[in-house]
């Protein structure tokens, strides 16, 4: 039988994984936020801006009524919170995770309401509007998010047990979200698929995965002189990796970057949004 891409039982590319981990030591949370989470990529007056597209996909997925349970885990949160702004209304426990202490600290700063932490207000206002609420309800949403985030944990998707032992219920999380993580920590498609399979092992049967990621990207800048290699993916590879990982695809949406979203901080050509379920 022919093996789908990424399924080959090659030994893990430990050298490639270690080289990427070294690149991440130069990751600057503030620069990363500036490059990707300010206009034009986060322009709430435009529906063709990247962030409003992602928020609309997340809102739709979380309001279809099929995602239930208590625990949502966000895999590779980085310094960002936009990816859990819809999910925090559905799940009573949200676990944020990242490989880097600098990113976990950045998240803790916002959770603690520290001055000078990134301003997620326009994001909160926008998601309130998607939910049919007034943008002025953003303070309630911020309070809800702060109350349901119970932990910000270290994670390594290349380890057999990515999270510290005992972090999750024995049956697994009810929902996983992951955005722009797996393809940007994996040296090749086989490593991406292995990381996806490992991530799927954190999920209970019947639970859902929302995966957002880059298409056709070979690098992104994580600080002025820090270039992180990315495994370039296409839609077929994403579908194949989901299948190999035992996840059933429910929906795949694709966004193509308009020319003015190509701002010189990466070579991404598109973005995929996947809703999948563990049978
Ligand atoms: C491109 S950023 C994505 C951040 C955020 N989720 C977003 O949507 O912008 C990739 C994240 O993966 C994290 N990371 C690096 N190596 C990792 C690993 N081995 N396991 C899990 N996450 C890792 C990085 O620290 C970084 O925050």
Dump pLDDT digits (tens) for 52-110: 999 999 999 999 999 999 999 999 999 999 999 999 999 999 999 999 999 999 999 99
What is the pLDDT, as a whole number, of residue 47?
Answer: 85
Q: Whose CA is nearest to atom 17 of ligand 1?
A: 99
Domain presence at residue 7 = no
219 lies in which domain range?
A: 14-277
Q: How far is the CA of 2 from the centre of ligand 1 (A)?
A: 32
**Ligand 1 and 24: CB distance under 6 A:** yes
Q: Does residue 2 lie within any of the structural domains?
A: no
pLDDT number for residue 9: 59
In a domain, 5, yes or no: no
Instruction: Give me ligand 1 centre to Cα 188, in Å.
Output: 16
The tens digit of pLDDT for each residue in 123-165 reads 999 999 999 999 999 999 999 999 999 999 999 999 999 999 9
CA of 99 to the centre of ligand 1 (A): 7
Average pLDDT over residues 183-197: 98
Ligand 1 centroid, distance to 77 Cα (angstroms): 6
Q: What is the pLDDT of residues 23-35, one digit of tens each?
A: 999 999 999 999 9
Exposure string over 183-206, b if 16+ CB within 10 A, otherwise e: bbbbbebbbbbbbbbbbbebbbee
Average pLDDT, the chain: 95
How do residues 210-221 score in pLDDT, each as one tens digit?
999 999 999 999
191 vs 157: CA distance, rounded Å: 10
3 within some domain: no
In a domain? residue 6: no
Q: What is the CATH number of the domain that holds 128?
A: 3.40.50.150
pTM over 0.85: yes
The answer to whether the beta carbons of residues 123 and 101 sit under 8 Å apart is no
Domain count, the chain: 1
Contact 75, 97 (CB under 8 A): yes
Question: Does ligand 1 lie within 6 Å of residue 240's CB atom?
Answer: no
C-beta 99 within 6 A of ligand 1: yes
- The answer as to whether 124 is a domain residue is yes
Q: Is 157 in the pocket of ligand 1 (CB under 6 A)?
A: yes
Q: Which atom of ligand 1 is nearest to the CA of 82?
A: 8
């Amino acid at each position: 039988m022919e093996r789908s891409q990424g399924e080959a039982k090659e030994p893990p590319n430990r050298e490639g994984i270690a080289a990427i981990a070294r690149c991440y030591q130069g990751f600057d949370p503030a620069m990363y936020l500036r490059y990707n989470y300010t206009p034009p990529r986060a322009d709430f007056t435009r529906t063709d801006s990247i962030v409003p597209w992602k928020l609309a996909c997340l809102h739709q997925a979380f309001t279809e009524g099929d995602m239930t349970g208590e625990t949502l885990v966000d895999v590779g949160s980085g310094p960002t919170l936009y990816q859990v702004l819809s999910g925090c209304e559905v799940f009573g426990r949200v676990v944020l995770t990242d490989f880097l202490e600098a990113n976990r600290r950045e998240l803790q700063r916002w959770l603690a309401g520290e001055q000078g932490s990134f301003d997620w207000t326009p994001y909160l206002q926008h998601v309130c509007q998607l939910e049919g609420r007034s943008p002025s309800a953003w303070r309630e949403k911020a309070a809800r998010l702060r109350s349901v985030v119970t932990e910000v944990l270290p994670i390594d998707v290349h380890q057999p047990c990515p999270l510290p032992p005992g972090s999750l219920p024995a049956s697994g999380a009810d929902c996983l979200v992951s955005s722009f993580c797996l393809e940007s920590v994996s040296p090749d498609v086989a490593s991406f698929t292995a990381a996806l399979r490992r991530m799927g092992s954190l999920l209970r049967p019947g639970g859902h995965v929302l995966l957002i990621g880059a298409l056709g990207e070979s690098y992104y800048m994580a600080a002025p002189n820090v270039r992180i290699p990315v495994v370039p993916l296409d839609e077929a590879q994403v579908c194949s990796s989901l299948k190999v990982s035992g996840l059933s695809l429910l929906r795949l949406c694709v966004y193509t970057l308009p020319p003015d979203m190509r701002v010189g901080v990466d070579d991404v050509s598109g973005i995929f949004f996947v809703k999948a379920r563990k049978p």
